[in-house]
Amino acid sequence: MNTYRDSLDTLRTRLWPRAGGWLSWWGTALASWLPQRWRALLGLTRDRLLLRPLGDELYLQWHNTDGVRDLAQVPLPLDSGDLDRLLGKRLADLPRWLLLPAGSALRRPLVLPAAAADRLRDVVRFEIDRQTPFSADSVRFDACLRQRRDDGQLDVELVAMPRARFDAAMAPLGDLAAVLSGVDVADANGRPLGVNLLPDNERRQRQTSLRAWQWALAAIALLALLFGGWKLLDNRRQAADALEASLRASSGQARLASAQRQQLIETIDGINTLDRARAQRPTALEVLDELARRLPDSTYLEKVSMEGDQLVLIGLSTEASSLVGKLQGSPLWRSPALSGAVQPDQALRRDRFTLTAQLVGTAPASAAATTGAPSGERAD
């Protein structure tokens, strides 16, 4: 269990500093696009007003990302209202820090494990007795992280100041001490070290008056996020409904097209079936040509009927009894036979006959050459 916890701590120690640094850089980059006034309003800027009492005078400095800039030099004592009128609206909203001179506090470098980064002040508190001649309760102290080593350890600087000296440094400010957000110490070049010796319960947040704006903007951002999510969901729902309607319309069109296609296929199949059936029977022209070749000149046809595969001939002939023999052997029909009795017609001196046969197929191209019938024979 301890090994598992140690592994998690090691993983968090290695990954979180990189992730936290990247998030900090990303947030700083985004904030840099906002106007200075907006960044101050949203609490995204680290600008502060430095108060440096020297004798009977108070030096005012503006500390921002570009460095420290001198603003004014005013006599002490000075109350908070006079300072606000002197600074104007823009600078009056900046948090106010007391900047102690270099050498007024003890500075000790420390090397701490990476796990101490989340509770740096608490860890350093136990080092005060060993690093300074004072106890933790008798000093005002803070610690700042200078760098992270490659092995994960932290280079930390402890800054401590005896309470008596701290109270003496605060005394010249008068009522300005009650509105301080922090107390920092200058280095040898006059730049702030980046610590805050003021206890947490005594720190004044100058931007408290702007906290309502911050909450309002946060609420607006949350509402905008919720509205954006709802709008996106509504758009997706509308898109899904439109897609469903389109699919239904396409499905109806597809069913109609499928029915029309099936009807077309059935029509084509019927036409093909009819064409095949017709191809299996000789055409009327072929039958008439074959009859003209086989019937004698003394034979006259009154009617030629082709119904299905049934061929019916009605006519007059002087050789009615021999017509069956003349029609036999044709490739276009089979089983020729007289239907009923031959009836003599005295007026025309011919016999009336009815002859039937079954159609069987189309005559081959060489059929005409094998019949032996003269080309001049025809049926009337």
pLDDT of residue 330: 86
Dist. CA 159–CA 139, nearest whole Å: 10
Helical spans, DSSP H, in 42-155: 80-92, 120-125, 128-131
Q: Both 79 and 188 in a single domain?
A: yes
Look up the domain containing 40 and give its range.
33-107+160-207
Q: What is the pLDDT of residue 61?
A: 85
The answer to whether residue 354 is domain-embedded is yes
Q: What confidence tens digit (pLDDT) does each residue in 363-379 have?
A: 444 444 344 444 333 33
Cβ count within 10 A of residue 202: 14
pLDDT of residue 95: 84
pLDDT of residue 109: 92
Report residue 268 CA to chain centroid gap: 48
Nearby residues of 109 by Cβ (< 8 Å), 6 or more positions away = 146, 155, 156, 157, 158
Considering the domain architecture, whether residues 290 and 176 belong to the same structural domain is answered as no
Domain count within the chain? 2
Q: Which residues of the chain have pLDDT under 70?
A: 1-45, 89-90, 205-214, 361-380
Residues 195, 295, single domain; the answer is no
Looking at residue 34, what is its pLDDT? 64
Which residue, 181, 178, 185, is CA-closest to 141?
A: 185
Q: Which residues pair with 61 in a beta bridge?
A: 50, 70
Q: What percent of the chain shows pLDDT beyond 90?
A: 9
> Is 2 within a domain?
no
The pLDDT value given to residue 160: 92
Distance CA 277, CA 308 (A): 10
Q: Report angle CA 214, 220, 221 to the nearest 5 degrees.
A: 90
Confirm whether 24 is domain-assigned: no
Phi, psi of 93 (to 5 degrees): -85, -5
- Give the integer Cα–Cα distance in Å for 28 and 39: 10
